[in-house]
């Protein structure tokens, strides 16, 4: 076989692109991104000016608009970045643009380093005026008094169920649910010392201790477990008390300078906590909504079934129903119900109208977008 035929079979390869060339392309793209981000921020400032001229001065945050942007970004994502990465990026862009006028004041269960703080940042982005407070009741008061524009409260855990203090907060507080966010909960054992055998006491929130019960029995049998107000408070105490440890998230370990002795010690690998975002303003429909209700039924057989009948007849899904003592009369209960859809949707509006005539107490706690959860 002659040389010419060999060349036809194996044509010469194009010269490889150098690392320097690729970096120059990346630099050029970064310059374009900077210009586009600056243009977007400029338009955000114009939107704020238009809203101010129309009399909107207290808060420019619109949950329904944010959901629209994030959903659109995920739907148009060509890859290779994941939908989770894209939505995180756009959320931070919107957070920073909103903060150009005034950062949102967001209250959450403190101190710094709690899962509640993680939920607040996941929902609103990092460019907020974070306000850690000591109790769940204080979050409701902060929002009701407009000291904070929004608050983030845990409402249920996939392992331990509902957080009753949060449900009770909705009974009296003049707030509305504006959104929800879900956080995968990973618990870690952390301490000042890396010697696990030196631990004599473990601090954590009651729910976290319950979620790690089997691990603690297996790896730290007989060790005293002390309940505190939050996981971050547990980390703070462990950072000041030799011979103790805390169960908390990685953010708390970093914030309080603790070493992680054992990671992901939760008994259930899919352990997830759902948080609600509370505010004062109603949220418009997005097409992917939930509505939360608080009601009390008449005390006679079949009362609850009668209340739920319009939802079944109209094909409206219920995603949660929870009862709590009303504290008005012995064995009298309030019901917290989550239904699919927005209260302005025609079918749901019809069902709510029928329901209101059958109960002794009726309160729409809010219609809000369902959690965006693009997992990596």
Residues tagged active-site: 273, 275
Which residues, 6 or more positions from 327, have their beta carbon under 8 angstroms from its beta carbon?
Answer: none
The token duo for 123 is 């929902």
Sign of the CA dihedral with 214 first, then 216, 219, and 222 last: negative
CA distances from 222 to 190, 219, 241 (A): 18, 10, 19
Which residues are bridge partners to 287 per DSSP?
none
CA–CA dist 276, 169 (Å, integer): 12
CB-count exposure of residue 208 (10 Å: 0-12, 13-18, 19+): buried
* Tokens matching residue 58: 């207290």
User: What radius of gyration, in Å, describes the C-alpha atoms of the chain?
Assistant: 26
State which H helix or E strand residue 269 sits in: none
How far apart are the C-alpha atoms of 215 and 265, rounded to whole Å?
Answer: 6
Residue appearing with tokens 């959860």: 373
Residue tagged 């692109």 (tokens): 17
Nearest to 272 by CA among 202, 360, 207: 207
The DSSP result for 321-374, as a single string, is EEEEE-SSSTT-EEEEEEEES-TTSHHHHHHHHHHHTTEEEEEEEEEEEPPP--
Helix H or strand E encompassing 107: strand 105-109
* H or E stretch covering 199: none
DSSP characters for 120-140? HHHHH-S-SEEEEES-HHHHH
Instruction: Put residue 139 in one of left, alpha, beta given phi > 0 → left and psi -120 to 50 → alpha.
Output: alpha
CA distance linking residue 144 with residue 156, whole number of Å: 22
């Amino acid at each position: 076989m002659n040389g010419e035929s060999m060349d036809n079979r194996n044509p010469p390869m194009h010269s490889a692109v150098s690392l320097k060339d690729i970096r120059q392309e990346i630099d050029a793209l970064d310059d374009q991104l900077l210009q586009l981000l600056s243009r977007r921020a400029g338009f955000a400032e114009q939107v704020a000016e238009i809203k101010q001229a129309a009399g909107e001065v207290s808060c420019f945050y619109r949950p329904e608009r944010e959901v629209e942007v994030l959903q659109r970004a995920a739907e148009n994502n060509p890859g290779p970045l994941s939908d989770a990465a894209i939505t995180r990026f756009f959320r931070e862009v919107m957070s920073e643009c909103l903060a150009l006028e005034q950062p949102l004041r967001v209250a959450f269960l403190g101190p710094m380093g709690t899962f509640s703080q993680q939920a607040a940042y996941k929902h609103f982005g990092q460019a907020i005026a974070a306000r850690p407070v000591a109790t769940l009741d204080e979050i409701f008061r902060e929002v009701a008094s407009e000291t904070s524009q929004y608050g983030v409260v845990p409402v249920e855990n996939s392992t331990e169920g509902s957080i009753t203090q949060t449900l009770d907060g909705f009974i009296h507080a003049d707030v509305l649910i504006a959104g929800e966010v879900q956080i995968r909960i990973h618990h870690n054992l952390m301490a000042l010392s890396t010697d696990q055998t030196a631990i004599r006491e473990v601090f954590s929130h009651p729910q976290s201790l319950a979620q790690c019960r089997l691990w603690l029995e297996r790896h730290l049998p007989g060790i005293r477990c002390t309940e505190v107000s939050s996981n971050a408070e547990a980390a703070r105490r462990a950072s000041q008390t030799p011979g103790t440890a805390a169960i908390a998230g990685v953010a708390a370990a970093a914030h309080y300078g603790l070493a992680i002795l054992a990671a992901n010690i939760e008994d259930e690998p899919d352990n997830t906590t759902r948080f609600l975002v509370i505010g004062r303003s109603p949220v418009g429909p997005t097409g992917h909504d939930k509505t939360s209700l608080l009601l009390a039924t008449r005390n006679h057989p079949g009362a609850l079934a009668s209340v739920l009948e319009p939802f079944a007849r109209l094909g409206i899904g219920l995603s949660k129903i929870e009862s709590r003592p009303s504290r008005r009369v012995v064995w009298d209960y309030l019901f917290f119900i989550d239904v699919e859809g927005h209260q302005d949707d025609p079918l749901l509006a019809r069902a709510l109208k029928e329901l209101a005539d059958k109960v002794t107490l009726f309160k729409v706690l809010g219609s809000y977008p369902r959690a965006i959860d693009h997992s990596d």
